[in-house]
């Protein structure tokens, strides 16, 4: 009886250690590294000195979907855009949601919505900065129009800030 009890205890101990025996070895990490664990369980160590920035897509908890555009931080900075008549001007978007337009020295507010920057100016006009294919474009809407209306003009745009967030 005692031998059976000892054998059963040894069996339980051996069975409980099996998952640890077959587990993947822990990734070797050191200061200045980050470990990424993929859905299939494999791990990759990334040297943080090689990383410029880490972006996380926003997830709409209510809808269960995710944003498909660039991150909000990509829009922060000074943008050069066309005015629709062959001239260029600047749009500056601040992290806190403030916006400034060099054309007429107008102020406004901007929000990140659906992967784009939607800007509402104090004079009632609206602009949207959107990625279209591989290019950035500025969509201009006169006072009284909405972002879903046909724009008054569409011009190329570029962020002149050296390293957007």
Cα(121)–Cα(109) distance, rounded to whole angstroms? Answer: 7
Compute the mean pLDDT over every residue in the chain, rounded to the nearest whole number: 79
Higher pLDDT, 18 or 156: 156
pLDDT, tens digit, 9 for 90 and up, residues 41-58: 677 888 888 877 676 555
C-beta separation of 140 from 154 below 8 A: yes
Q: How many CB atoms lie within 10 A of CB 118?
A: 21
Tell me the per-residue pLDDT of 95-127, one tens digit each, with 9 for 90 and over: 999 999 998 889 999 999 988 999 999 999 999
Nearest of 154, 9, 8 to residue 82 by alpha carbon: 154
pLDDT band at 70 (very low <50, low <70, confident <90, very high): confident
Higher pLDDT, 5 or 117: 117
Looking at the chain, the whole-number percentage of residues with pLDDT higher than 70 is 68
What is the pLDDT at residue 62?
A: 38
Average pLDDT, stretch 146-153? 91
What is the 3-class SS of the chain, one letter each residue? Answer: CHHHHHHHHHHHHHHHHHHHHHCCCCCCCCCCEEEEECCCCCEEEEEHHHCCCCCCCCEECCCCEECCCCCHHHHCEEEEEECCCCCEEEEEECCCCEEEECCCCEEEEEEEECCEEEEEECCCCEEEEEEECCEEEEEEECCCCCCCCCCCEEEEEEECCCCCC
Residue 59 pLDDT class (50, 70, 90 cuts):
very low
pLDDT at 85 > cutoff 80? yes
Tokens of 54: 């880490």
Quote the tokens at residue 116: 């784009």
Nearest CA to 92 among 119, 66, 68, 67? 119
pLDDT digits (tens, 9 = 90+) for 26-38: 545 567 788 887 7
- Judged against a pLDDT cut of 60, whether residue 147 lies above it is answered with yes
Radius of gyration of the chain (CA): 27
Residues in contact with 129: Cβ distance below 8 Å, sequence separation at least 6, in sequence order: 75, 79, 81, 91, 93, 116, 117, 119, 136, 137, 138, 139, 157
pLDDT-based confidence at 162, cuts 50/70/90? Answer: confident
List of domains in the chain: 24-54 (no CATH), 72-159 (2.40.128.80)
pLDDT at 47: 86
65 pLDDT exceeds 50? no
């Amino acid at each position: 009886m005692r031998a059976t009890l000892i054998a059963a205890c040894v069996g339980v101990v051996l069975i409980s250690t099996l998952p640890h025996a077959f587990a993947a070895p822990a990734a070797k990490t050191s200061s200045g590294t980050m470990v990424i664990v993929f859905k299939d369980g494999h791990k990759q160590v990334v040297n943080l000195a090689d990383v410029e920035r880490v972006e996380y897509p926003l997830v709409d908890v209510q809808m269960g979907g995710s944003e498909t555009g660039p991150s909000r931080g990509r829009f922060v900075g000074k943008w050069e855009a066309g005015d629709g008549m062959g001239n260029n001007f600047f749009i500056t978007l601040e992290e806190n949601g403030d916006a400034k337009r060099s054309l007429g020295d107008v102020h406004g507010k901007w929000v990140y919505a659906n992967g784009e920057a939607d800007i509402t100016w104090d004079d009632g006009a609206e602009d949207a900065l959107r990625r279209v294919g591989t290019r950035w474009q500025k969509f201009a809407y006169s006072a009284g129009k909405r972002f879903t209306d046909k724009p008054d003009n569409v011009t190329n745009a570029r962020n002149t800030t050296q390293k957007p967030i």
